Structure 1
Amino acid sequence: MPMRAVQSLIACCLAAWVCLGSQMGRATETGHPLAVGLSFDRPIDAGAAPLIVAMTDGLFSGERLNVTPNIVAGSPEAIASVASGASEFALVDLNELIRFRSQGSAPVKAVFVLFNKAPYAIVARKSRGIHVLSDIEGKTLGIAASDLSAGLWPALAHQNEIRLDQVKQSAISAAVREPMLSAGQVDAVTGFSYLSAVNLRDRGVPADDLAVLRFADYGCDAYGFAVIVNPAFAAKQPDAVKGFVRALIAGIGLTLRDEGHAVDQVLTQMEQGSRELELERLHAVVRDNIMTDEVNRNGLGGIDPARLERSIDQVGEGFKFAKRPHAADIFDDGFLPPRADRLIN
């Protein structure tokens, strides 16, 4: 074959390779978005509003990211999805990630903490004699084994000098938690404050009969939901991870400025949903979990390493570690913008 023909053939192959590369989802200088998957560990509700707003209001696309959401069955499955590369990102319970890393598993890390305080709570009926945490002695506590609040409960009880042998623990499924409490079959249940408490009010339990005993108010240092990333993806596409974080911060800002709009966007992702109920849920999440004193001081998304170390110990009290992880195994702050860009004015 003549040399000129060989050169032409090589040029054609190179052009085809470049075209194929752009079609495989790589962000290019021409503006093609990078396709990434985002796993949610439970059905979408107002607790995920900042991420939904980032998707629906063009904040991710403004960072040249084409984000495709999918729902999986719990944080362990979402973490496994990211570890395997099936999803690039996931929103998971950070304490489940602590358990995952304690097993010597893949080096998946969180890059942004959405819930600065975990939503774990004991939701009780005041009419059953429970007003503060110490009142739980002598009562029946329904515990759903699937909730990580069950694993942190022993540490919380020890910290508050509650005798566990004086609390009757009833193993229940998450599906019957609120019905059993509203029917009086148990005196209190473990769960998420913004889920169980709001759902119970929706079931007709008077708000003034509910005692919402948040673990964070009784010495629990745990962080809540956080965004994790596939380590190989983060190494190859660091700018994409930084762009994802920037879009999420912008999504939080928009959510805070117009909670009604944020809930309307969430409702587009729900098969059935009540605007009134999701607005109440979002109010609770923003107040109790996202916009905390620590966030107001230090900005969105980060962690206090000393606090995270304490929370790891608290998780380990309920779940025995094969190998205790450290804060640096759990969180990578290298993708966060400067503090000034993470403060909400």
Structure 2
Amino acid sequence: MFRQLGLSVVAGAALLASALSASADTDVKFALDWKFEGPSAPYFVALDKGYYKAEGLNVTIDSGPGSVAGIARVAAGTYPIGFFDINSLARFRDQNPDKDVKGVLMVYDKPPFSIVSIAKSGINGPKDLEGKILGAPAPDGAFAQWKAFVKENKIDDSKVKIENVGFPVREPMLADGKVDAITGFSFSSYFNLMSKGIAEKDIKVMLMSDYGIVLYGNAIMVNPEFAKANPKVVAGFVRATVKGIIDTIKDPETAIKSVMKRNETADEKIELARLKMSLKDNFVTPWVKANGVGGIDEKRMTDAIDQIAVTYEFKNPKPKAADLFTSDYLPPADTRKF
């Protein structure tokens, strides 16, 4: 009898351990492209509201090295999921054809690539860059589109002096008049210039997407081995993130609180303004309003790849839209509308 009781206890313990193991959350390391700033709000909203938890995920969010450099982290599996520039992914895959990294959720329907200047430079349109000095970090995601921007706007680039500047000194050099304009992400350069004492009314942002650039921007992308082994985890992460994005769109004032909890040294007023700028210019477009968050238009992606080919010479055949992005993990379209 005691032996049977002992066996029952052991068996019960084993079943309990098995059940706990089955119900344990899956750890997921997620890499942002940059710092904990306004545009990162959707992920922290999803974390704080328990959307990831509801999908059985224990998500850790880390800052990143930029929208280009971080792709290698996803390809290596250091981070199974990351948030980076899909145009840079096209170039990365060409240089690393064995790395089948794909986008699974388009976040920036329009990229924040921009040319930023201040009023005294007299730059009101693309052609005004002729005869001017453009400060551009060589690895900058916005500068990577320069040749396509030149082509679309018929700029005589022989009349534009390109100065390779470091990221930390880009806005200070513009503020000091050492360059006439800079390339950068709109919502980064704009507020960096304000912090340098440049009046808001004097900051001029020329979004490349308003001048012929049809590219998409940053997307959630996944490591191929991780996606193959954990399709439900990827789908759950995407589903929870969509909810975080929609909540952020509907109530940015509340959403920014989730960022500020992780970045107490930031200025909430500036980060809210930065978030609202990104929502207006990058997240929420007429296409997104009509079709919902997270998907792509395949023809536009094909056109975007052709535009990437203007700035980058592919060593292998040009990728197709399906090589860069898959909608396999997206929830139904009606759940992605707001």
TM-score (norm. length: structure 1): 0.89
- The CA deviation at 1:45 is 0.9
Q: Aligned residue for 1:197?
A: 190
CA distance in 2, matches of 1:19, 1:313: 54
Q: Spell out, residue by residue over 1:202-250, the C-alpha distance to the aligned partner (whole angstroms, 9 max, x if none).
A: 3221222222100000011111111011222222222221111111111
Q: Aligned residue for 2:321?
A: 327
Q: Aligned residue for 2:59?
A: 67
Conserved? CA contact 1:121–1:190, under 8 Å: yes
- The CA deviation at 1:19 is 4.9
Q: Aligned residue for 2:334?
A: 340
Find the residue that maps to 2:163 and give its secondary structure. Answer: strand
Which piece of structure 1 moves more, 113-122 or 80-89?
80-89
Alignment pair present for 1:182 and 2:137: no
Q: Aligned residue for 1:48?
A: 40
Find the residue that maps to 1:334 and give its secondary structure. Answer: coil
Q: Aligned residue for 1:153?
A: 146
Conserved? CA contact 2:116–2:184, under 8 Å: yes
CA distance in 1, matches of 2:311, 2:199: 33
CA distance in 2, matches of 1:170, 1:143: 6
- Residue number among 235, 238, 252 corresponding to 2:231 in the alignment: 238
- The CA deviation at 1:253 is 1.8
CA distance in 1, matches of 2:215, 2:74: 22
Structure-2 change in CA distance of 1:105 and 1:150 (3 Å)? farther
- Name stretches of at least 5 consecutive residues in structure 2 with no aligned partner: 1-6
CA distance in 2, matches of 1:284, 1:62: 30
CA distance in 2, matches of 1:216, 1:204: 27
- The CA deviation at 1:89 is 0.7
- Residue number among 43, 50, 55 corresponding to 1:58 in the alignment: 50
Q: Aligned residue for 1:5?
A: none
Amino acid at match of 1:32: A
TM-score (norm. length: structure 2): 0.91
Amino acid at match of 1:157: V
CA distance in 2, matches of 1:146, 1:19: 50
Alignment pair present for 1:84 and 2:80: no
- The CA deviation at 1:197 is 1.1
Trace 1:1-345 onto structure 2 (pairs within 5 A): 15=14, 19=17, 28=22, 31-103=23-95, 104-270=97-263, 272-323=265-316, 324-344=318-338
Conserved? CA contact 1:101–1:329, under 8 Å: no
CA distance in 2, matches of 1:203, 1:73: 23
CA distance in 1, matches of 2:18, 2:156: 64
- How many residues are paired up? 328
CA distance in 1, matches of 2:244, 2:63: 20
The structure 1 segments of at least 4 consecutive aligned residues displaced by more than 4 Å after TM superposition are 18-23
CA distance in 2, matches of 1:164, 1:20: 65
Amino acid at match of 2:184: G
Conserved? CA contact 1:41–1:91, under 8 Å: yes
Amino acid at match of 2:247: L
Q: Spell out, residue by residue over 1:294-334, the C-alpha distance to the aligned partner (whole angstroms, 9 max, x if none).
A: 10111110111111112122222222222222111100101
Find the residue that maps to 1:333 and give its secondary structure. Answer: coil
CA distance in 1, matches of 2:69, 2:197: 33
- Name stretches of at least 5 consecutive residues in structure 1 with no aligned partner: 1-7
Conserved? CA contact 1:146–1:174, under 8 Å: no
Q: Aligned residue for 2:3?
A: none
Amino acid at match of 1:35: D
**C-alpha root-mean-square deviation of aligned residues, in Å?**
2.1
Conserved? CA contact 1:38–1:88, under 8 Å: yes
Conserved? CA contact 1:123–1:191, under 8 Å: yes
CA distance in 2, matches of 1:333, 1:182: 43
